[in-house]
Structure 1
Amino acid sequence: MKRKLGWMFVFFLLLPLIGFISTTYLVSNGKVLPFDEHAINWVKTIETPALTKVMLFFSHLGSTGPVIVISCMFLIIIYILYRKFDEVVLFVIASLGSTGINQGLKFLFKRDRPLEQIVKETGFSYPSGHTMAAVTLYGIIVFLFWRHIKTVRGRTMLILFSSLMIIIIGFSRIYLRVHYPSDIIGAFLLSGIWLYLNIWTYQYLMEKRYDKEKK
């Protein structure tokens, strides 16, 4: 059991933390710009009016208003179906914390957005707020509903749906040229760390409460 926990710690916390620190260093020193520009130039080659509309739609799903609406819907579903107030609290803390961390880091790094934007976005660029919100939202949805879905088919559909939403929302920000690819990578890594810490803390507290009730 201890060996399993050790591998989980390395895979879900230590490696992403090293990755985020490395990405942040490269971004802060401008060393990742050639990679960013090369990736953006490739994305330009697949632009079409129809695809732009699709990317605008998914990008909108990752913005503040829709995220709040989707979050409230899932909060209501979780509470009505399972009557788990502690899961509602976890959902709220993870979501609000992700937003707070993102805004704090944006003002810390003050990275400007790409100049040639398909849609106009203001504010700073690193890390991507839409991507962090998507990873946190759909990641916590997977964790909470996985615990209650018993069928392999149901769990597979849950993972596929959430993974696609995260990937497409992240890619849409690059496609619309409101973020550099490194903004998305940093957001993936950071929100993954934040998600892991929330889930680990939640499980630790639940186990402590269970052990206390057994005594």
Structure 2
Amino acid sequence: MLLHAEVRRRWLWTAGAAVAAYALLTAAVEVPWGPLMARDAVISAAAHQFALENPAWRQAMIAITRTGDTVVLVAVLVFTLGFLLRRRLFAQLAFVCAAVAASAALRLTVHALVARPRPEDMLSSGAGWSYPSGHTSHFATAALLLLLLAWPLTRARWQRIALVAVVGGWALLVGASRVALVVHWPSDVLGGWLVALASVPFIAVTHAVYLNHSRR
């Protein structure tokens, strides 16, 4: 996957900003920083009450959050890798594998070190520590990868707008559903989004630089 120099710079700046924000947020969670904890508690309490008072909303959030389950994402990943392998798109295949591995490593390392408990009044199932949100980081990573792979295939402006709206919007909804169901604190979801914004752009730039040098 080739990227122009200007695009690489933008992606690198995005990755750097996401890493810095992720580091600051992680430090605030680990300390823990009072204002952040208080804001998390207020939002979670409001989400819990709203979900209990609106069963239809709760069921909608459950349906959305299930699209981010591991079994769904693994199936999508296997299909994507199989498609790229069948088309002999080995560069894209390597990029997807590296980005998924980087995102998982960035999340799991902090996940184990911080070991943040989940909210007590969860309205859906959740296992393991809370920070950062696995559903959020996995789906956001998948969304960014899909955007990067599909972008060159779209020509019309409306197609690209639709692609960003559907894929990006769904990634935001999956993260929001974790807060709506009180399975994660809001800062957990923010951390999950930052994981994807740090790992995918960095791997994209690294991969593009490697391809540029290897083809000289």
TM-score by length of 1: 0.88
Q: Percent identity?
A: 20
- Aligned residues of 2:11 and 2:205 also touching (Cα < 8 A): no
Alignment of 1:124-135 (within 5 A): 124-135=129-140
Residue-pair matches, total: 209
Structure 1 gap ranges (5+): none
Deviation of 1:46 (Å): 3.3
Query: Quick check: 1:37 aligned with 2:41?
Result: yes
Q: SS state of the match for residue 50, structure 2? A: coil
Aligned counterpart in structure 2 of residue 14 of structure 1, from 16, 24, 31:
16
Residues 204 and 188 (structure 1), Cα distance of their counterparts in 2 relative to 1, 3 Å cut:
same
Check the 8 A contact 2:103/2:195 in 1, yes or no: no
- Matching of residues 151-190 of structure 1 within 5 Å: 151-190=156-195
2:156 paired with 1:147: no
Between 196-205 and 40-49, report the one with greater CA deviation.
40-49
SS of alignment partner, residue 46 of structure 1: helix
Flag the 1:100–1:18 CA change in 2: closer, same or farther, 3 A: closer
List runs of 5+ in structure 2 lacking aligned partners. none
1:187-202 map, 5 Å: 187-202=192-207
CA-atom RMSD, angstroms?
2.1
| Cα distance change, pair 78–46 in 1 and its aligned pair in 2 (3 A) | farther
Task: For 1:128 and 1:208, locate their aligned partners in 2 and report how far apart those are by CA, in whole Å.
Answer: 36
1: CA distance, partners of 2:88 / 2:154: 15
Q: CA 1:69/1:205 → structure 2, altered by over 3 Å: closer, same or farther?
A: same
Shift of 1:2: 7.0
- Pick which of 167-176 and 145-154 moved more: 145-154
Stretches (4+) displaced over 6 A: 1-4
Shift of 1:107: 1.0
Instruction: Give me the TM-score of the superposition, normalised by structure 2.
Output: 0.87
Instruction: Mark the CA change 1:3 to 1:73 in structure 2 (over 3 Å): closer, same or farther.
Output: closer
Output the CA distance in 2 between the equivalents of 1:2 and 1:74: 27
* 2:69 counterpart (40, 52, 63): 63
